[in-house]
Structure 1
Amino acid sequence: MSDHQFVYIMLSDTGTLFTSVIKKYTKAPYNHASLSFDPELREMYSFGRKNPNNPLHGGFVKEDIFQGTYSKYKDTTCVIYRLAVTARQVEKMKRIMNVFIRNNDKFLYNILGVIGVSLREPVEFSNSYFCSQFVADILKRSGIKLWDKLPVMVTPDDFRNNKHLELIYEGKLFEFEPIKKRYQ
């Protein structure tokens, strides 16, 4: 079983106005999902704010805990899961991710998709995602099937309630040991 590797999924709540509004509706503790290939979350990917000061300008983001949106919200709470995957699946995920990285400016934030989930009506556009849809889509396209629903209908809470994910941390983001070490 040396072929097994892990990817990491972090769900977070920054406590911003935008997330508070979503939270009122979803009643879920976390409303943002990110995907990382390393246990220290040095490289995390998602769909969210391109600029920490502007919640309306969203798209594909390589998240940096110390310089991006999280750096402005030191009280961010999170839950971190790891998912066992094969080396081949990681390779596929990275290949897909590279398409996003190379074409960064061509992707939009799917705000209508967020509304669609709440109405139980999938709203998809090409090159347009919201955070949990993006993570679910990357997994699905890499051959990892966690749900019997379209990625556009997956919420951060679906990750929280998935038995395939192993919880490794819950608490304040900046108190997660690997981050705390780098932060000091």
Structure 2
Amino acid sequence: MKTYVYILLTDTGTLFTKSIKKYTKAPYNHASISFNAELTEMYSFGRKNPNNPLNGGFVKEDIHTGTYSKFPNTTCVIYKLEVTNREVEKMKRVLNVFIKNQKKFLYNLIGVLGVSLNEPIEFSNSYFCSQFVAEVFNRSGIRLWDKLPALVTPDDFRKSKQLTLVYEGKLFDYVALI
């Protein structure tokens, strides 16, 4: 049986995402990692409270009750990566460090600016969404690019030849298909 992890890239249409999109010209600007196609076990760095865009950090995302529930017109693209059971084990071990220490982690807003300058800006316990997903892969021995996680953008996932497209469209249309 094949094992996959899933990468969800989204555009909620918020003011913050519109601002990023103006600069990046990329269609999606948020990245999450999921361990199942139903996206019920999904993690990223983003809003801790759907109503407060300024309070960010490590989050277990929930499509039905979290930030996405506030933005029903969210567009997305979903990719899968075939992995071994051992790699999943390693990723979950890395993830457990984030889960156990989630209150210590902050959103790396300055790191987002560093990407635009092609200059990695890293702080201990501080990540932005795509940096976090790339870090999980990196620490698990999966190399999708030859660059530091602090320079990985959501668009890098979209352009990766190692990922397989699963779906593109409205997030809630995908959820309805499952």
TM-score range, shorter chain: over 0.9
Q: 1:141-167 deviations in whole A, cap 9, x for unaligned?
A: 001000000000000000000000000
**Secondary structure at the counterpart of residue 73 of structure 2:** coil
Tell me the residue number matched to 1:105: 103
Cα distance between partner residues in 1 of 2:177 and 2:76: 17
Partner of 2:136: 138
How high is the TM-score relative to the length of structure 2?
A: 0.98
Match of 1:159 among 147, 157, 160: 157
- What root-mean-square deviation, in Å, do the aligned CA atoms of Structure 1 and Structure 2 show? 0.9
Give the fraction of aligned pairs with identical amino acids, expressed as a percent.
72
Partner of 2:176: 180
Residue correspondence of structure 1 range 1-184 to structure 2 within 5 A: 2=1, 4-176=2-174, 179-180=175-176
In 2: Cα distance, 1:180 partner to 1:73 partner: 16
Which 4+ runs in 1 deviate beyond 4 A?
none
Structure 2 SS opposite 1:95:
helix
- In 1: Cα distance, 2:36 partner to 2:63 partner: 13
The alpha carbon displacement at 1:44 in A equals 0.6
Counterpart amino acid of residue 107 in structure 1: F
Q: Deviations over 1:114-169 (max 9, x none)?
A: 00000111100010000000000000100100000000000000000000000000
Distance in 2 between residues matched to 1:121 and 1:99, nearest whole Å? 26
CA distance in 1 between counterparts of 2:146 and 2:101 reads 29
The CA distance in 2 between the partners of 1:120 and 1:148, in whole Å, is: 14
> Which amino acid counterpart does residue 176 of structure 2 have in structure 1?
K
CA distance, structure 2, for counterparts of residue 181 and residue 152 of structure 1: 34
- Counterpart of 2:60, as a letter, is K
Instruction: State how many pairs are aligned.
Output: 178
Residues 69-121 of structure 1 show CA distances to partners (whole Å, capped at 9, x for unaligned) of 00000000000000011100000000111111111100000000000000111
| TM-score w.r.t. length of structure 1 | 0.95
Structure 2, unpaired ranges of 5+: none
Once the 2 structures are TM-superposed, how far is the Cα of residue 5 of structure 1 from its aligned partner?
Answer: 1.1
Output one character per residue of 1:5-28: Cα deviation in whole Å (capped at 9) or x when no partner: 100000000000010000001100
Separation (CA, whole Å) in 2 of partners of 1:128 and 1:55: 16
